[in-house]
């Protein structure tokens, strides 16, 4: 069983690798965009850099979707280990690079924005014998948002699952949650939310702590 699992995991990783190498797929485009090197020496004929320099690769995150023959790519750099918005100048350079390596007739729209702002109100019933503070819960919320895959789906249920793992938490409830991108209207989150920028940051977290009083003695 152990051998089968090892072989199965290896095969899955190889399949994922080969899928990224298949030309003209979304995965291929994502890998090519992340291969962009700022001020790198790009061969006009092959679309490949003469020398690979990881320090010049400024696109650390990329997610693509296709609709009506148009590829839309969300991209981001990285700062302090977290996604960050690329400058307008860098976006123009990435766009020029994509124009050279893409297939003829294919439209690729690039976007890079600041993190969607996330606001949440939580009710936490905690074990009165445990020491629990609002800052402990806020830290978990922040860690959950940071652990989300780029352009992944936020879920109120997944957030509660993360909070429930905190020592002392007995019952956790999301009273309200909402998100906002840039100057857009704030959206209330009923269950799930896909960040427009591809990632999220806490703006406000209102946390009410209440001793759990329903234990049977």
pLDDT tens per residue across span 18-59: 454 555 788 889 999 999 999 888 887 777 888 889 999 999
DSSP result, 52-83: --GGG----EEEEEEETTEEEEEEEEEETTEE
Average pLDDT of the residues in 120-146: 95
Closest of 191, 211, 16, 29 to residue 103, by C-alpha: 29
Closest of 170, 177, 178 to residue 124, by C-alpha: 170
Which tokens go with 198? 């591809």
pLDDT of residue 16: 54
Q: Which of the 8 DSSP states describes residue 54? A: G
Pairing of strands 169-180, 187-188: antiparallel
What lies within 8 Å, CB to CB, of 39 at 6+ separation is: 56
pLDDT band at 127 (very low <50, low <70, confident <90, very high): very high
pLDDT band at 5 (very low <50, low <70, confident <90, very high): low
pLDDT of residue 102: 85
pLDDT of residue 37: 94
Task: Look at residue 117 and tell me whether its pLDDT is greater than 90.
Answer: yes
pLDDT band at 69 (very low <50, low <70, confident <90, very high): confident
């Amino acid at each position: 069983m152990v051998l089968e699992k090892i072989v199965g995991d290896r095969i899955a990783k190889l399949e994922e690798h080969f899928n990224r190498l298949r030309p003209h797929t979304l995965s291929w485009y994502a890998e090519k965009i992340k291969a962009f090197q700022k001020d790198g020496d790009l061969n006009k004929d092959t679309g490949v850099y003469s020398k690979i320099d990881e320090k010049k690769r400024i696109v650390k995150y990329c997610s693509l979707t296709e609709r009506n023959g148009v590829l839309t790519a969300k991209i981001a750099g990285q700062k302090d280990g977290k996604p960050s918005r690329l400058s307008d100048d860098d976006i123009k350079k990435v766009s020029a690079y994509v124009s050279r390596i893409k297939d003829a007739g294919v439209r690729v729209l690039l976007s890079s924005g600041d993190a969607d702002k996330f606001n949440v109100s939580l009710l936490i019933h905690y074990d009165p014998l445990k020491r629990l503070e609002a800052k402990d819960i806020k830290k978990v919320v922040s860690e959950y948002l940071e652990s989300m895959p780029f352009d992944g789906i936020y879920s109120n249920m997944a957030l509660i699952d993360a909070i429930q793992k905190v020592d002392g938490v007995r019952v956790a409830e999301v009273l309200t949650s909402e998100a906002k991108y840039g100057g857009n209207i704030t959206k209330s989150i009923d269950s799930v939310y896909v960040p427009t920028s591809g990632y999220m940051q806490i703006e406000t977290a209102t946390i009410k702590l209440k001793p759990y009083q329903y234990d049977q003695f």
